[in-house]
């Protein structure tokens, strides 16, 4: 009997434990790990189909230079030489890394160390910028650091679960399964879904608020004003543990009911019912995801939610708190090691001179990035205008997934030197690489990931390494060697990187932050191999435990208090006579990102086989669009052609289209070619859910 290997699903931020088995004939089977505390044996459709997506068809097996197979030495020498030459001639900010929430924490750590500590630039950003950076920014404003207070258990312990901007049923399916099972066992639990669409998640909702796009800032401001005059307000908590309530309340109270009705598009009765439920239910968890984050007011939305939890003291206690659900398998791990342009490492802040000094001394590095680097959208603008002349893209496909994707493709195509590390030979992005480096895929990789509830789990290998593929951390470390930094990148195995990250986390008490993984600083190979899933914080000398932040009312601002944020409601309507519809992009149940893996499974493709756009029946009639006919979606940025799905799940005036399809599956299928590169001013996250577009029947010319 072949041995089972405990590993972690490589798709969404739920971070489910997987048991993988390879039989004597080499066939792989997977099932949920009953002992993993995130999923207790459950898997969703994507996780269950993992074995169908790991064949070698299309794999990149050898390094390539200018489309021709090369050896590793030749390829790595060239990468190091071109990056070094570019830096020498144009300075450290003329190069950039664009990385991914698909990377393991160990990969992310090395990429961040090389860019910030040795190249001396902070031009490393990630596709997680598109995913949860507004939550990071909101957490930092309110809490003083980027921390998710709660655990999945809180969702089950709550009496009221508010899901805003979160189609849990399709995007975090195992949390949805846990929630649905809890609701079935305890029908008194109330669930409110706030979403312009009637998504599948609404099937278990007691109340669905079909809010206008970006109307949720106003809704939560209205909730704060309501709570402030209700018995739910916790004046003692506000006085002891927070600052800024008066200003936040004054801003919220300036919105009257008429204003609220107009901005949210909701009936007054529904708004009052939501406020009543929130007011009268102490155990409330508010989950939010991309519908909140992917907005030009994303950070304000996050803080509008956090304001309500702070005002009631409902945070950090069992069954209570705001809960940001991360999209990717290791979005959280990237945050831990500072794999974003505006973060440092081990939760330290790039703007903080003491933090910079601490990290530089720990690394023994010749330089340290002194200012934040370019965030994703700005990074590709800098590629386009020639400020960035050498770009290394790892484990992501920006030609499909970035907003204004056609411009991003043109920028990459014109960049003087592009390196792409990927598992696939041909993606929309790899075709523009001067150097292609073959990376390890799921089942071959070895390292750790962190899920939405701060739980660190192992991804363990169980497959033979194909061709000459190598780990991403190894590729980066080898380039670090060749750029003259051998001592700092002398790693033989991922455990050594994990141990260094843990040691940095504990170094000088991490500037008095108590949310590190310092207890793991001395981890050895065996202990790393056997590492059970655990949640941080786990400071030195402590044992793993279920942890919630802020239960004691202590926050990470210097005075130990949380901050309310006074918010101004944003303009929400971007439409005009030429572009009268609002496009909302998102995920579907059975595909992942740009389909480079899930697209291989016939079973998964059977769920929805083609790119589509949901449109309300009356809008379809008025625009002459017929059910299942082809439609053209157009914005000033570009066009996409997809199949019409006429449904009253979609509100009037809006359309929903999935983000997944790329031009290898269907011509003009990339919806991000249509999405405008508008970003949140604080987080830099693109507003992918409120895009003004025109929609019409497609006519081939």
- Of 245 and 592, nearer to ligand SF4 (C-beta) is 592
- Of 144 and 327, nearer to ligand SF4 (C-beta) is 327
Residue 12 interacts with ligand SF4 (CB under 6 A)? yes
Residue 30 interacts with ligand SF4 (CB under 6 A)? no
Taking the CA atoms of residue 315, residue 319, residue 325 and residue 331 in that order, the dihedral angle to the nearest 10 degrees is 70
- Of 45 and 280, nearer to ligand SF4 (C-beta) is 45
Select from 5-13, 295-303, 422-430, 521-529 the region that touches ligand SF4 (CB under 6 A).
Answer: 5-13
Tell me the C-alpha to C-alpha distance, in Å, between residue 240 and each of 236, 282, 357, 514.
6, 19, 33, 20
Minimum gap (Å) between residue 12 Cβ and ligand SF4: 3
Contact at 8 Å (CB) between 103 and 329?
no
Question: Residue 295 — left, alpha, or beta (φ > 0 → left; ψ -120 to 50 → alpha)?
Answer: beta
Residue 14 interacts with ligand SF4 (CB under 6 A)? yes
**Which of 85, 84, 87, 82 is CA-nearest to residue 65?**
82
Residue 533 interacts with ligand SF4 (CB under 6 A)? no
- Of 43 and 521, nearer to ligand SF4 (C-beta) is 43
- Of 41 and 553, nearer to ligand SF4 (C-beta) is 41
Residue 456 interacts with ligand SF4 (CB under 6 A)? no
Residue 174 interacts with ligand SF4 (CB under 6 A)? yes
DSSP H or E segment with residue 387: none
Select from 43-51, 265-273, 333-341, 344-352 the region that touches ligand SF4 (CB under 6 A).
Answer: 43-51
- HEC string for 93-104: HHEEEEECCCCC
Residue 373 interacts with ligand SF4 (CB under 6 A)? no
Quick one: tokens of 629? 């006919």
- Of 14 and 419, nearer to ligand SF4 (C-beta) is 14
Residue 173 interacts with ligand SF4 (CB under 6 A)? yes
Cα torsion 181, 182, 187, 189: sign: negative
Contact at 8 Å (CB) between 165 and 292?
yes
Among 7, 9, 574, 694, binds ligand SF4 (CB under 6 A): 9
Tell me the C-alpha to C-alpha distance, in Å, between residue 14 and each of 9, 79, 107, 171, 588.
9, 35, 20, 9, 16
Among 7, 16, 143, 375, binds ligand SF4 (CB under 6 A): 16
Minimum gap (Å) between residue 13 Cβ and ligand SF4: 7
Select from 44-52, 60-68, 610-618, 663-671 the region that touches ligand SF4 (CB under 6 A).
Answer: 44-52
Minimum gap (Å) between residue 554 Cβ and ligand SF4: 32
Residue 47 interacts with ligand SF4 (CB under 6 A)? yes
Residue nearest to ligand SF4 (CB): 47
Distance, in Å, from the CA atom of 472 to the CA atom of 486, rounded to the nearest integer, reads: 17
Beta-sheet strands, E only, within 47-117: 64-65, 68-69, 95-99
Residue 178 interacts with ligand SF4 (CB under 6 A)? no
**Which of 380, 298, 9 is CA-nearest to residue 131?**
298
- HEC string for 525-563: HHHHHCCCCEECCCCCCCCCCCCCCCCCCCCCCCCCCEE
Residue 11 interacts with ligand SF4 (CB under 6 A)? yes
- Of 49 and 394, nearer to ligand SF4 (C-beta) is 49
Contact at 8 Å (CB) between 119 and 482?
no
**At residue 529, what are phi and psi to the nearest 5 degrees?**
-60, -35
- Binding-site size for ligand SF4 (CB under 6 A) equals 13
How many whole angstroms from its chain centre is CA 147? 14
Residue 389 interacts with ligand SF4 (CB under 6 A)? no
Residue 309 interacts with ligand SF4 (CB under 6 A)? no
Please name the residues in contact with 694: beta carbons below 8 A apart, sequence gap of 6 or more: 578, 579, 580, 581, 633, 634, 635
Residue 43 interacts with ligand SF4 (CB under 6 A)? yes
Minimum gap (Å) between residue 90 Cβ and ligand SF4: 41
- What residues line the site for ligand SF4 (CB under 6 A)? 9, 11-12, 14-16, 39, 43-44, 46-47, 173-174
């Amino acid at each position: 009997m072949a041995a089972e290997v405990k590993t972690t699903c490589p798709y969404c931020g739920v971070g489910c434990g997987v048991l993988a088995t390879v039989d004597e004939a080499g066939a792989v089977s997977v099932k949920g790990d009953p002992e993993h505390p995130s999923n207790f044996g459950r898997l969703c459709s994507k996780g269950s189909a993992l074995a169908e997506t790991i064949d070698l068809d299309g794999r990149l097996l050898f390094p390539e230079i200018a489309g021709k197979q090369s050896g590793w030495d030749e390829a790595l020498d060239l990468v190091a030489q071109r990056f070094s030459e570019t830096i020498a001639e144009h300075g450290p900010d003329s190069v950039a890394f664009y990385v991914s929430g698909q990377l393991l924490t160990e990969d992310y750590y090395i990429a961040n160390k090389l860019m910030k500590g040795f190249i001396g630039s902070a031009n490393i950003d990630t596709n997680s910028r598109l995913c949860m950076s507004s939550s990071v920014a909101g957490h930092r404003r309110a809490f003083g650091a980027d921390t998710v207070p709660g655990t999945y258990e809180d969702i089950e312990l709550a009496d009221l679960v508010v899901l805003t901007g979160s189609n849990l049923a399709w995007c975090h399916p195992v949390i949805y399964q846990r929630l649905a099972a809890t609701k079935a066992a305890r029908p008194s639990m109330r669930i409110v879904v706030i979403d312009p669409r009637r998504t599948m998640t609404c099937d278990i909702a007691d109340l669905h608020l079909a809010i206008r796009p970006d109307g949720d800032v106003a809704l939560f401001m209205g909730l704060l004003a309501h709570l402030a005059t209700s018995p739910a307000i916790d004046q003692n908590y506000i006085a002891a543990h927070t600052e800024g309530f008066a200003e936040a309340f004054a801003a919220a109270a300036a919105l009257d009911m008429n204003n609220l009705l107009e901005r949210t598009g909701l009936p007054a009765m529904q708004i009052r019912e939501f406020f009543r439920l929130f007011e009268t239910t102490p155990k409330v968890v508010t989950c939010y995801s991309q519908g909140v984050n992917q907005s030009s007011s994303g950070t304000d939305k996050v803080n509008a939610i956090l304001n309500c939890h702070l005002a009631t003291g409902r945070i950090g206690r069992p069954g209570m708190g705001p809960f940001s659900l991360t999209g990717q398998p290791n979005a959280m791990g990237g945050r831990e090691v500072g794999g974003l342009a505006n973060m440092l490492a081990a939760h330290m802040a790039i703007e903080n001179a003491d933090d910079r000094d601490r990290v530089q001394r720990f690394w023994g590095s010749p330089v340290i990035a002194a200012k934040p680097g370019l965030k994703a959208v700005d990074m590709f603008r800098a590629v386009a205008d020639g400020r960035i002349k050498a770009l290394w893209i790892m484990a992501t496909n920006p030609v499909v997934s970035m907003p204004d994707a056609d411009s991003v493709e043109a920028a990459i195509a014109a960049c003087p030197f592009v390196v792409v590390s990927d598992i696939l030979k041909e993606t929309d992005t790899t075709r523009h690489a001067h150097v292609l480096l073959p990376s390890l895929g799921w089942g071959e990789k070895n390292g750790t990931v962190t899920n939405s509830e701060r739980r660190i789990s192992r991804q363990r290998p169980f497959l033979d390494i194909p061709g000459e593929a190598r780990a991403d951390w190894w590729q980066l470390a080898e380039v670090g060697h060749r750029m003259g930094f051998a001592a700092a990148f002398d790693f033989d195995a991922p455990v050594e990187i994990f141990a260094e990250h843990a040691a940095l986390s504990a170094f000088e008490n991490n500037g008095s932050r108590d949310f590190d993984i310092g207890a793991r600083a001395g981890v050895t190979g065996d202990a790393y191999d056997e590492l059970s899933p655990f949640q941080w914080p786990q400071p030195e000398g402590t044992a793993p435990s279920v942890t919630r932040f802020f239960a004691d009312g202590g926050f990470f601002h210097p005075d130990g208090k949380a901050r309310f944020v006074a918010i101004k409601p944003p303009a929400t309507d971007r439409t005009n006579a030429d572009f009268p519809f609002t496009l909302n992009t998102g995920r579907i149940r059975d595909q992942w990102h740009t389909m480079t893996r899930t697209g291989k499974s016939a079973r998964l493709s059977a769920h929805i086989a083609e790119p589509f756009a949901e449109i309300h029946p009356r809008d379809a009639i008025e625009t002459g669009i017929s059910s299942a006919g082809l439609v053209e979606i157009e914005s000033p940025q570009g066009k996409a052609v997809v199949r019409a799905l006429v449904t009253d799940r979609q509100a009037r005036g809006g359309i929903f289209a999935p983000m997944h399809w790329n031009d290898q599956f269907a011509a003009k299928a990339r919806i991000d070619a249509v999405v405008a590169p508008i970003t949140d001013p604080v987080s830099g996250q693109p507003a992918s859910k409120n895009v003004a577009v025109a929609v019409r029947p497609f006519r081939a010319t």
